[in-house]
Amino acid sequence: MIKRTSFMLVLLLLAAMPLTAVQGQDEPLRVAVVMPSTADDLAWSQALVDSLAAVQEALGGEDALVVDISENLWQVPDAIEAIGDYAAQGYDIVFAHGTQYGGPLFDLAPDYPDVSFAWGTASDTGEDQGLTNIFPYEARAEQGGYINGVIAALLTQTGVVGIVGPVPAGDALLYIDGFRVGVMEANSDMGLEVEVPVIYTGSFGDTAGAAEAARTLIAAGADILTGSAQQVPGVIEAIEEAGGLYMATQVDQAEGWPDTVLIAQVFDWNDVILDMIAQRQAGVTGGIAYELSLENGGMKMVLNEELAATLPVPEMLAALAGGLDIDPEAEGAMVEILQALLEAGTAEVVEGRIDVLERVEELQAEEAEEATPTPAS
Amino acid sequence: MTGEERDLLVILASILAQGLRFATPYLYASLGEMFGQLSGMLNLGVDGIMLMGAFTGFIVAYQTPEGADVTAYLWLGVLAAALVGALLGLATAVVNVTLGAEQGISGIGFYMFGFGLSSLLIKVTVGRPTPVAFFPDIRFPVLSDLPLVGDALFSHNIMTYGAYLLVPVSWWVINRTTLGLKIRAVGQNPEAADSLGVSVARIRYLTATLGGTLAGVAGASLSIALYHVIQENITNGIGFIAVALVYFGAWTPAGVLIGSALFGVVSAVSRWVQALGLGIDPNVAVMLPYIVTIVVLVFSVQRARQPAALTKPFQRGEG
């Protein structure tokens, strides 16, 4: 089930109904997060931590909402120990912020029926196994991946845009395949022949390997790179050194690399967190699957306007500018063109003119078929 | 030369250049660990010391004041990383030589200490992955422009050249100096060395400190030479591979050089295999360097003789 909530609306409702009153005691709501990487990874984990901090501040600080974090728990047994500890201590919501935690989490959840376990990336509420206290959540990362892919294909000067991925799974795979679909779509619609090689490092935190993968892609001709997971600083540093551009996801890394990160798909978990809190106040401990998407505002495309203003308008975009009623020669034309493209791409996805997930699944099915050896006749 | 031949040349040059550059931290850390193992000291805490070296090198370079000489601060960073590494290496000697701890277990302890402390320091200083100034690549007239080998051999930063220079220096120390002879004697037969007046403890303190120093420099090579950024757990296990490369290299500088370069080159191949879309599953491609390392390790360990006293504590009057 897709939940759509308004941050301000839920905030107002929560403000009108003090948490202490709902809990029936003078204690703040307690939330714990168990995550595979660090809270400041500029990626998957940080996106959730930033949102929790925003919600905490909006609700009135630590007096209303306590947030405790256990990080760097990539190993499932360690993570499950931590999740169990938080549950045993009576935390209200425990975030299991990694796809890999799912199986053991489902074994643990029945022992703590009053605790809500939020689990992502996932969509299974566990209802068919009789579980009532799981809130799965996921991001439709392929949507922004698609938009980034289309724009990268239009921007590249070399005809090669590269991707550095961690492992081909979960949120990272959705984003990467969405990006590839975007490039392919631009190729077929605009008559381009942009290549989009992908290198996986086999790890989420291999900064050195990711930097070397980026350098490989640059040697292969790429002038624009993208990537996912906490290893991306290595990728951004490599493409910055080469004078290229980077398209981001999960968190806007432009603050650290203002001369290189052009567009970011930013995750905003605020509404999801607020709705979980509201559901608990209404007596619902689980059973709702949440999604971040461009439709519900959980994901936003953010343009680095200062960087965009310094970029020349490439031939391909100059040709498109006329259709967008923008003078490509005018000052700030690139900012306007990219803003228009982001708006058009977002509208295309939101209004359903392209089902990116469906295209991603088709692409994955085609590749799986190609990889399967044909039986000898 | 056809376009395809030119493309192939570009790819080969890239693989060589990347492979040799990627070997930099492995070389520093492995050569340091090799000295320790030759004297009978195994240090599984190399990765933790590298993490501390990476942070130290970074934070010194990061403090470069506006308008100051960046290169001077980078060198100061290397020096500080070496010093921190030396102190941690010295600490491993106290624990293993003086207190007689089990080397494998204490090594893991030092790894966890370095991992935890470096993460904490990153959090309280910069709080997030942060870019920093770095040693630029040095290009030589004519040589750097040579086809194939120009980029591979003559377009690296000073710390990469330093790592390769350390190989003949290490060989000379081990095989041509009295100190090298003492190190090998202590690692093969500490009782005999002791009876000849060699201080086993002093030699092991020295090699453990040297190993720590080079591990610290290896860490700095990641943050301020190769990848210009600090991030928690930036080594991602490089220190453990470095320990394996000492076995791979059969406790010789040349062997360590071959192992590090091979690991680097196969890693580069595994990335090009994916970039070219050759249809090899990415999960298989990323395993390539490790598979090659394990296979070569199996054969090299069979033919090589490890130091007889490796991991064995020594107390005067025993044995």
Backbone φ and ψ for A344, nearest 5 degrees, come out as: -65, -40
Of A35-49, A161-175, B42-56, which one has max mean pLDDT?
B42-56
Contact state of B236 with A209 under an 8 Å Cβ cutoff: yes
Interface residue of B271, B272, B280, B286 to substitute, partner A, most A CBs within 10 Å: B271
CB of A259 less than 8 A from some CB of B: no
Q: What is the pLDDT of residue B299?
A: 76
Low-confidence ranges of chain B (pLDDT < 50): 319
Distance separating alpha carbons of residues A164 and A239, to the nearest angstrom:
11
A79, A96 contact by CB (below 8 A): yes
DSSP annotation of A42: S
- Dihedral in degrees, nearest 10, Cα atoms A349, A351, A352, A354: -40
Pick from A334, A328, A199: nearest CA to B276: A199
Q: Are strands A290-292 and A134-139 parallel, antiparallel or unpaired?
A: parallel
pLDDT tens column, B126-164: 988 899 999 999 999 999 988 888 888 999 999 999 999
Distance separating alpha carbons of residues B20 and B148, to the nearest angstrom:
13
What stretch of H or E contains A68?
strand A65-70
Residue A224 to residues A28, A155, A158, A237, A266: CA-CA distances in angstroms? 46, 8, 9, 12, 19
Pick from B317, B319, B312, B272: nearest CA to B104: B312
pLDDT tens column, A237-277: 999 999 999 999 999 999 999 999 999 999 999 999 999 99
Residues in chain A within 8 Å Cβ distance of B276 = 197, 220
- From the list B11, B18, B229, the residue facing A207 with the nearest CB is B229
Taking 50 as the threshold, does the pLDDT of residue A21 lie above it? no
Q: What is the pLDDT of residue B316?
A: 75
Interface residue of B20, B148, B229 to substitute, partner A, most A CBs within 10 Å: B229
pLDDT band at A20 (very low <50, low <70, confident <90, very high): very low
Q: What is the pLDDT of residue A203?
A: 87
A180, A367 contact by CB (below 8 A): no
A72, A37 contact by CB (below 8 A): yes
Amino acid (one-letter) located at A334? M
pLDDT tens column, A211-247: 999 999 999 999 999 999 889 999 999 999 999 999 9
CB of A211 less than 8 A from some CB of B: yes
pLDDT band at A344 (very low <50, low <70, confident <90, very high): very high
pLDDT band at A319 (very low <50, low <70, confident <90, very high): confident
- From the list A40, A165, A198, the residue facing B123 with the nearest CB is A40
> What number of C-beta contacts closer than 8 Å exist between A and B?
112
Task: Work out the average pLDDT over A152-180.
Answer: 94
Taking 70 as the threshold, does the pLDDT of residue A19 lie above it? no
Q: In what order do the strands lie in the sheet with A224-227?
A: A198-200, A161-165, A224-227, A245-250, A261-267, A299-303
Q: What is the pLDDT of residue A41?
A: 87
Residue B130: Cβ within 10 Å count = 20
Is the peptide bond between A121 and the residue preceding it cis, with omega within 30 degrees of 0? yes
Question: DSSP letter string over B1-41?
Answer: --HHHHHHHHHHHHHHHHHHHHTHHHHHHHHHHHHHHHTT-
- Nearest chain B alpha carbon to A219: B14
Contacts of A266 (CB under 8 A, 6+ apart): A47, A250, A251, A252, A299, A300, A301, A302
Q: What is the pLDDT of residue A22?
A: 44
Residues in chain B within 8 Å Cβ distance of A205 = 231, 233, 236
Nearest-10 crossing angle of helices B253-275, A207-219: 60
- Give chain A's largest Cα–Cα span: 73
Q: What is the pLDDT of residue A4?
A: 44
A34: which strand partners?
A: A70, A96
The angle subtended at Cα A149 by Cα A162 and Cα A331, nearest 5°, is 105
Contact state of B236 with A168 under an 8 Å Cβ cutoff: no
Q: What is the pLDDT of residue B3?
A: 61
Block residue for tokens 């403090």:
B63
Residue B239: Cβ within 10 Å count = 29
Amino acid (one-letter) located at B161? Y
Contacts of A138 (CB under 8 A, 6+ apart): A120, A121, A122, A123, A171, A289, A290, A291, A292
A263, A251 contact by CB (below 8 A): no
pLDDT band at A24 (very low <50, low <70, confident <90, very high): very low
B86, B153 contact by CB (below 8 A): no
CB of A227 less than 8 A from some CB of B: no
Contact state of B127 with A206 under an 8 Å Cβ cutoff: no
Residues in chain B within 8 Å Cβ distance of A220 = 272, 275-276
What stretch of H or E contains B303?
helix B288-303
The CATH number that domain B3-134+149-303 falls under is 1.10.3470
In the three-class reduction of DSSP (H, G, I as helix; E, B as strand; rest coil), residue B61 is classed as helix
Alpha-carbon gap: A236 to the closest alpha carbon of chain B (Å): 10
- Tokens linked to A88: 């045993």
Q: With pLDDT > 90 as the criterion, what percentage of chain A qualifies? A: 74
pLDDT tens column, A50-86: 999 999 999 999 999 999 999 989 889 999 999 999 9
Q: What is the pLDDT of residue A182?
A: 97
B53, B28 contact by CB (below 8 A): no
- Tokens linked to A42: 């500029």
Q: What is the pLDDT of residue A13?
A: 52
Q: Which residue has the higher pLDDT, A201 or B294?
A: A201
In the three-class reduction of DSSP (H, G, I as helix; E, B as strand; rest coil), residue A65 is classed as strand
Contact state of B130 with A256 under an 8 Å Cβ cutoff: yes
Per-domain boundaries in chain B: 3-134+149-303
Pick from A256, A266, A356, A330: nearest CA to A303: A266
Contact state of A167 with B129 under an 8 Å Cβ cutoff: no
In the three-class reduction of DSSP (H, G, I as helix; E, B as strand; rest coil), residue A225 is classed as strand
Q: Domains in chain A and their CATH numbers?
A: 7-139+268-292 (3.40.50.2300), 142-266+312-371 (3.40.50.2300)
Distance separating alpha carbons of residues B243 and B254, to the nearest angstrom:
15
A129, A101 contact by CB (below 8 A): no
- Dihedral in degrees, nearest 10, Cα atoms B140, B141, B142, B146: 30
B84, B148 contact by CB (below 8 A): no
CB of A50 less than 8 A from some CB of B: no
